[in-house]
Chain A
Amino acid sequence: MARKTGGNIKDLLFERTTGAFAFLVLFLAVLLFAVLLRESLPALRKFGASFFVTGTWDPVLETFGALPFIYGTVVSSFLAILIAVPLSVGAAIFINEFAPPWMKTPVSFLAELLAAIPSVIYGLWGIFVLVPVLRDVFMKPVTKYLGWVPLFKGPVYGPSMLAAGVLLSIMIVPFILSVSREVLATVPQLQKEAVLSLGGTRWEMIRIVIGQHCLPGIFGATILGLGRALGETMAVTMVIGNRPEALLSLFQPGYSMAAVIANEFTEAVGDVYLSSLVLIGLILFAMTFAVNLAAKWILSRMVARASRGI
């Protein structure tokens, strides 16, 4: 009897301790938000809503607007997703369904190794390899023949929104790839065989299986990659060109929210200046929060639909 009480006390203690840990995480998130909000108040008061829709960034006159940074973060991340998702999902299908066994392990190991490279290394590689190659092999010829398309307007410098998007896509491939592989692996062998036994080709099998079973998982993987792309700082700032202007052409330099904070925070002396940088941090925080929330909601609907379908 005494033992049982002792057990209860231990249980209670354990429950309370772990509960405190969980609460701490929540508390930290709230605290983070509160501090960001408090520190960004001077900028919010001075600029109000115009902060979100104007594009002047002048530390000398202390006039600030975040539009180019918001635009840069959104466009570069979207570009990265556009490139990385087909690439990763394709690679995942190949590795799981077609690759001979001797190839599977090394290819997936190497792909996942990409995730372990520090972002500053990606940035350096971007400056010295990716940017010159993109400029000479892709951007220059494209502007020459398709320069009239607003997206490809010159002049070509090298560091650009496109370079940032491509570099980001390489960085998020390992995340999307490994999650997609896990998702594909959860498809019951029976279902696959069922499609094949009904006379379906491999393509039909993959299409049906992915359509029915894997879409929510791949969507989740995409959001994971998007989250990483939105917040990436070092690699982006090294190749994006750091120009606070929202330009339509992908060949022109741009800027991102994380990059401007990292670049200017240490030397920002004015109160409004510092506060504006914090406000950009708050926007970034709110944006990633919203993306994750929306993703959760869409995901739950997708899962519901997928399970209804089966």
Chain B
Amino acid sequence: MRRISGILAGTAVALVLSLAVVTGATAADPLMINGAGATFPYPLYSKWFYEYSNANPGVRFNYQSIGSGGGIKQITAGTVNFGATDAPMTEEGMKKLPGAILHIPTALGAVVPVYNLDEVPAGLKLTSDLLAGIYLGKITRWNDPKIAELNKTVTLPNADIVVAHRSDGSGTTDIFTNYLTTVNAEWRAKVGRGPSVNWPVGIGGKGNEGVAGVVKQTPGAIGYVELAYAKQNKMKVASLRNKEGNFVSPTLEATSAAAAGMAKSMPDDFRVSLVDAPGKESWPISGLTWILVYRDQTDEARGKAIVQFLKWAIRDGQKMEAALDYAPLPKAVVEKVDLALKQISFKGKSLY
């Protein structure tokens, strides 16, 4: 009997102790912020989360890169604290939301045409009409007089143009088709824009690596990939004639220039496309990527943590972009984003 009560007492003490440990642990547990969405900014966000959590041990992030569409679905359903997308939400999509949402731009991306021609080392010159013509299947040979006229210094081969595009739904395709829709009336009428479209011609590759695979393996191929992917894999990129009539090569600077060109006309909700942006140096197929947060937060601590993180991201975070091949937001845009962050509130009180 005494032994039994001894065991009972011991168990009770152990229980109390373990309870104490558990509650202690909860108090010191970092705040977990959940997010989901676009794959394009994932490497950048991972770096940000890592650096930010190192500096602020109280906050941790869990980000699932499930695609922009998935990110919008999750934030609409309220299963995550923030979403991320490469394509702004539609009016129709925003109507389904339980509250007002803010699009916070975090970085800039560019989509670049890549090609495989032994005869043309790099910097094949193209215009919006040529690119649309190729993707519409109207220009089918590399030695087409319209292409040759722009590229007099090289001899273009008498070969078929093999068109490659993304087969999976993606923000990259959305930016690319948005560009073609903006600059070419026939494309707008026949195909339109979206993460997946009904391509008039071409072979579909899954992911940037799939398109790059087709282009690299097929002489005479042309495709489009993210700028970072083209740079890291040393692919041959084409120059494009921009809105001001200059031929520009795709670089981080040219991408940032596109955002700077749009800064003046940037709407307050940042739901803007940067394709065919004004500015002498602007790369015409550029786009923003956004983090989606509700304006009225339901959890003060979480809301505060998200706002503080975003404040950091548009300042210190921007310095990490170039190393990862993302173009940083221009100053004018950062100032505007700062104003938007001040709107995020909990029960009417700004969390800035």
Contacts and interface: CB of A to CB of B under 8 A. Distances in A.
B198 A57 contact: yes
Given A56-B198, A58-B198, A263-B167, A242 B213 contact: no
A263 B204 contact: yes
B66 to A, nearest CB: 6
A238 B68 CA distance: 22
B197 A58 contact: yes
B32 interface: no
Interface string B182-218: 0000000001111111110011111000100110011
B140 to A, nearest CB: 9
Contacts of A244: 198
A157 B218 contact: yes
Contacts of B198: 56-61, 244
Contacts of A259: 167
A102 interface: no
A128 interface: yes
A241 interface: yes
Interface residues of A, number: 30
B93 interface: yes
Contact of A263 (B66, B197, B203, B206): B206
A268 interface: yes
A269 B196 contact: no
A97 interface: no
Given A128-B213, A157-B162, A159-B214, A267 B68 contact: yes
A244 B66 CA distance: 24
B169 A263 contact: yes
A131 B66 CA distance: 29
Contacts of B300: none
Interface string A55-89: 01111110000000000000000000000000000
B109 interface: no
Contacts of B205: 159, 238, 242
A267 B194 CA distance: 10
A269 B69 contact: yes
Counting chain A CB atoms within 10 Å of each CB, the highest count among B93, B168, B193 belongs to B168
Nearest to B169: A267
B83 interface: no
B204 A269 contact: no
A131 B169 CA distance: 24
A290 B196 CA distance: 31
A269 B72 contact: yes
Q: How large is the interface on B (under 10, 10 to 19, 20 to 34, 35 or more residues)?
A: 20 to 34
B330 interface: no
Contacts of A159: 203, 205, 214
B206 to A, nearest CB: 5
A128 B167 CA distance: 18
B278 interface: no
A80 B232 CA distance: 36
Interface in A205-241: 237-238, 241
A195 to B, nearest CB: 51
Given A128-B213, A159-B203, A242-B205, A266 B69 contact: yes
Contacts of A238: 205-206, 210, 213
A283 interface: no
B9 to A, nearest CB: 38
Interface in A100-156: 127-128, 131-132, 155
A267 B196 contact: yes
A242 B170 CA distance: 15
Interface in B50-76: 66-70, 72-73
B160 interface: yes
Interface in B204-263: 204-206, 210, 213-214, 217-218
Interface string A267-301: 11100000000000000000000000000000000
B217 A268 contact: no
A267 B213 contact: no
A253 B214 CA distance: 12
Interface in B134-184: 160, 162, 167-170
Nearest to A64: B198
A238 B203 CA distance: 11
Contacts of A237: 167, 206
B204 A267 contact: no
A192 interface: no
Contacts of A263: 167-169, 196, 204, 206
Contact of A243 (B69, B168, B195, B202): B202
Contacts of A262: 168
Nearest to B213: A127
A238 B206 CA distance: 7
A204 interface: no
A253 B170 CA distance: 21
**Nearest 6 CB-CB pairings of A with B:** A267-B169, A242-B204, A242-B167, A58-B198, A267-B69, A60-B192
Interface of B: 66-70, 72-73, 93, 160, 162, 167-170, 191-199, 202-206, 210, 213-214, 217-218
Interface of A: 56-61, 127-128, 131-132, 155, 157-159, 237-238, 241-244, 253, 255, 259, 262-264, 266-269
11 contacts: A59-B197, A61-B192, A158-B203, A158-B217, A237-B167, A243-B202, A243-B204, A255-B204, A263-B196, A267-B169, A268-B196
